[in-house]
Structure 1
Amino acid sequence: MNSGPRLIEPGVKHFLYNTLNRCHDNRVNIYTWALNIGVLILFLGIFGSALYICYKRKLSPEEQYNKMVHDQAYILSKIRFYQNERIEHPLSSITSLPVVQDRSEYDMLERLRT
């Protein structure tokens, strides 16, 4: 058998192995906790920032009123524009073509043909 000299006793070898194994487990446990806490802080920071931005973008009651008045004025101006457009340029109900009000050009063409 190959039983050369041993520098340490078998009990010491197991003791050191178990000690190093526990140190490794403690280090992995600490790294896991640090990573989890870091991710939690990052998540809370992003979530808090999003809530803060949403809060700051919210309009005050006065700004909401001014925006509503501005939107109503815009809608009323568009309604007036299209009403005036319809009055100035009426369309035929069947073909959606403009109605000819002045028939003088049409009459002139008819006279030229005959």
Structure 2
Amino acid sequence: MYEQSEEFQQELKLKVRKILTLQEWRRRKMQMRISKEEGRLKKDEEETKEMWKRKREHEEKWEGIRGQRVCFHNSLLREFNNRCLFMSLVFILFAITFWNVLLKIIEK
């Protein structure tokens, strides 16, 4: 008959309230963890999308100026070839002059 007494009913109410409160607290904590993890995953996904977007834009920009790079490279090659040709001519003229001077010295 103790279960029907007022004291037992009060203790039972307190215990049930404590258990329900603890369950609700655990549920809310779990919900907070889940939402935090979902937020982290969403942030990671957005960062990945942004990274791929930046990479794609960089590649498009790089390909967009390809003509300029090729033109610049070709002009450098032409300039280098012109310099090599000029230096070769200078060397040949120097060699001819040097040999002429040597021949004059030898002939004397």
TM-score past 0.5 threshold: yes
**Where in structure 2 are the equivalents of 1:1-114 lying within 5 Å?**
9-59=14-64, 63=68, 66-67=71-72, 69-90=74-95, 102=101
The alpha carbon displacement at 1:16 in A equals 0.7
Equivalent position SS for 2:75: helix
Q: 1:61 to 1:43 in 2, by over 3 A?
A: closer
Equivalent position SS for 2:77: helix
The alpha carbon displacement at 1:10 in A equals 0.9
Q: Normalising to structure 2: TM-score of the pair?
A: 0.63
RMSD: 3.1
The alpha carbon displacement at 1:26 in A equals 0.6
Provide the aligned length of Structure 1 versus Structure 2: 92
Query: Structure 2: how far apart are the matches of 1:60 and 1:44?
Result: 25
The alpha carbon displacement at 1:35 in A equals 1.3
Which one has more relative contact order, counting CA pairs under 8 Å at least 6 apart?
1
Higher share in helix: 2
Unaligned runs of 5+ in 2: 1-9
The alpha carbon displacement at 1:72 in A equals 3.5
Unaligned runs of 5+ in 1: 91-98, 107-114
